């Protein structure tokens, strides 16, 4: 995908892609600054899209958008890895493909855009970067199935679910649990399997949520 803007100062763009392994003059300071800039603009985008979301939901969604793997995906989309300047050791070990290095480059590039063109230029670029993953988010981002089920019931002032272990299978090193999740109102029960009790509870809760969704 084509890079969304041209730099007035090409040296800033180059510096954003210089890893610390390549020399003393590198992108670490830009990375530090870019982390804060990305957080501010992504927060603005979330508040615009989810005007009724509370702080906890907004925080979870922001975390999912700016986590290392998400930033690395942006770097790959724009071919940052192919342009990285790395030291011999990082070159040998494939540093241009490593999520941590790619994510740092995205943060550094955000700072470079800001220093080159100001906040409006930064906002324009970050909206291009983050609009696709933002469009896939919903208010449940980051919440597990048990939490979502509990919130669904509490919002309707209904009794909380009950979880019961029905069976434990397998040897100690490969244990599998079968758990039933039961609702009193509406009357509903589903089972889930997992390698831990918690995992089985999550699976059962997810099955309950799917059933509730099917009921409209």
Cβ–Cβ < 8 Å for 17, 27: yes
Question: Considering 13, 35, 116, 206, which one is annotated as catalytic?
Answer: 35
Question: Considering 13, 90, 107, 201, which one is annotated as catalytic?
Answer: 107
31 is in an annotated binding site: yes
Query: Whole-angstrom Cα distance, residue 202 to residue 193?
Result: 9
104 is in an annotated binding site: yes
Is 107 marked active-site?
A: yes
Is the C-alpha dihedral spanning 195, 206, 135, 56 positive or negative?
negative
User: Coil, strand, or helix at residue 216?
Assistant: coil
Q: Output the DSSP codes for 8-22.
A: SSHHHHHHTTB-GGG
Is 48 marked active-site?
A: no
Is the backbone peptide bond immediately before 19 cis, with ω within 30 degrees of 0? Answer: no
Residues 6+ apart with CB under 8 A from 178: 165, 166, 167, 168, 169, 191, 192, 193, 200
- Residues making up the annotated binding site for Mg(2+) are 31, 104, 107
Residues annotated as catalytic are 35, 107
């Amino acid at each position: 995908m084509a890079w969304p803007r041209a730099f007035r100062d090409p040296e800033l763009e180059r510096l954003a892609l210089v890893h610390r392994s390549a020399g003393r003059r590198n992108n670490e300071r830009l990375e530090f600054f870019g982390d804060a800039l990305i957080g501010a603009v992504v927060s603005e985008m979330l508040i615009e899209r989810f005007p009724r979301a509370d702080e906890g939901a907004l925080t979870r969604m922001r975390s999912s958008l700016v986590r290392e793997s998400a930033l690395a995906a942006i770097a790959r989309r724009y071919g940052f890895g192919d342009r990285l300047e790395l030291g011999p050791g990082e070159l040998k070990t494939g540093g241009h493909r490593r999520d941590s290095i790619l994510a740092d480059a995205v943060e550094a590039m955000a700072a470079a855009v800001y220093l080159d063109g100001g906040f409006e230029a930064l906002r324009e670029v970050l909206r291009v970067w983050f609009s696709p993953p933002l469009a896939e988010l919903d208010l449940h981002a980051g919440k597990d199935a048990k939490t979502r089920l509990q919130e669904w019931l509490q919002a309707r002032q209904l009794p909380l679910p009950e979880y019961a272990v029905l069976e434990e299978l397998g040897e100690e090193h490969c244990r599998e649990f079968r758990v039933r999740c039961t609702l009193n109102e509406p009357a509903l029960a589903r089972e889930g399997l997992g390698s831990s009790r918690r995992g089985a509870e999550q699976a059962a809760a997810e099955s309950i949520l799917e059933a509730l969704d099917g009921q409209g």
